[in-house]
Amino acid sequence: MSRSVLVTGGNRGIGLAVARAFADAGDQVAVTHRSDDPGPLERAGLLPVRCDLTDPGQVERAVEEAGARHGPVEVLVANAGVTRDRLLLRMTEDDFAAVLDTNLTGAFRAVRAAAAGMLRARKGRVVLVSSVTGLLGSPGQANYAASKAGLVGFARSLARELGSRNITFNVVAPGIVDTDMTRALSARQRADLVAKVPLGRHGAPREVAAAVRFLASEEASYITGAVLPVDGGMGMGH
Ligand code: NDP
């Protein structure tokens, strides 16, 4: 059965792989993007909706636009995220607030906008893209780790608040995945990170997408408040 799916930050990287995985399975998928040419997204069978997650009005409109084309959003994947890495004494108030605003408050805005329709339908699936960093911590990433740890408390609170309405909230925690975000690291930094991965390699975006799709599937109907690592074993034990 085709569902209405919305993926934030679905124009590239993990979000695009997630969007493609849902579309390949026959769902109707809207993706938020900020400035990309929407042409390639449309040609891939996705509905591009322009939205900066730091703007509450744009988030509301994106959910409405997806709903107008595909019906109320039944599956929301809050994937968009940024880093602004700095050691603590160099981290400004703005570095901290900006990362929280996109990664955590942005997810809140998207969930709140989509939840009204899910409550009316008495069903819904929300998957939040966190990170192994949110659970293990990482020097130079206190802002990012705080935002990603925050998603776990956020999801678990909503799993309790809205479980009786048949809406599930789960988190995936990727390790090091080959996207623009990690390509921005130096070769040395990447090699050091990969050395901490028992499987000895980066993850591919489609490997994260498979976990997201599972958590949004009928097969996962009794899973809520879970954190599913997709990290090659990097965070084992957290
Ligand atoms: P990319 O940098 O490749 O993509 C980030 C996505 O987020 C882009 O679509 C970007 O849109 C979007 N985005 C950023 N800020 C905003 C905003 N204010 N409003 C709307 N969209 C925004 O990253 P990845 O694909 O690697 O990361 C996807 C998610 O996975 C992130 O939450 C990240 O933290 C998480 N993650 C990634 C890991 C990795 O190793 N790659 C590991 C663990 C977690 P635009 O194109 O407009 O910039």
- The alpha carbon dihedral of 108, 109, 110, 114 has a sign of positive
Per-residue confidence at 1, pLDDT binned at 50, 70, 90?
confident
- Give the nearest ligand 1 atom to 13 CA: 25
Tally: H helices and E strands in the chain: 10, 7
Q: Alpha carbon of 115 to those of 125, 154, 201: distances in Å? A: 10, 14, 37
Q: Is the pLDDT of residue 138 over 80?
A: yes
- pLDDT tens for each residue of 168-207: 999 999 999 999 999 988 999 999 999 999 999 999 999 9
Residue whose pair of structure tokens reads 């958590």 in the numeric block: 215
- pLDDT tens for each residue of 203-233: 999 999 999 999 999 999 999 999 999 999 9
Which of 8, 14, 143, 206 is the best mutation target for the ligand 1 pocket, counting ligand atoms within 8 Å of the beta carbon and taking the most?
Answer: 14
Interface predicted TM-score of the whole assembly (ipTM), two decimals: 0.99
- Give the nearest ligand 1 atom to 130 CA: 44
Q: Is the pLDDT of residue 36 over 80?
A: no
Domains belonging to the chain, first-starting first, are 4-175+206-230 (3.40.50.720)
Q: What is the pLDDT of residue 228?
A: 98
- What lies within 8 Å, CB to CB, of 185 at 6+ separation is 193
Q: Please give the average per-residue pLDDT across 28-50, as a whole number.
A: 94
Supply 181's token pair. Answer: 């975000």
- Residue 222 designated active-site: no
Cα–chain center distance at 5: 13
**Ligand 1 within 6 A of CB of 12:** yes
- The neighbour count for residue 170, using CB atoms within 10 Å, is 23
**Ligand 1 within 6 A of CB of 33:** yes
Q: What is the pLDDT of residue 237?
A: 78
Amino acid at 148: K
Q: Supply φ then ψ for residue 169, to 5 degrees.
A: -130, 115
- Give the nearest ligand 1 atom to 10 CA: 9
Distance in Å, CA 107 to ligand 1 centroid = 12
- pLDDT tens for each residue of 77-134: 999 999 999 999 999 999 999 999 999 999 999 999 999 999 999 999 999 999 999 9
Supply 76's token pair. Answer: 């929301």
Q: What Rg, from alpha-carbon coordinates, does the chain have? A: 17
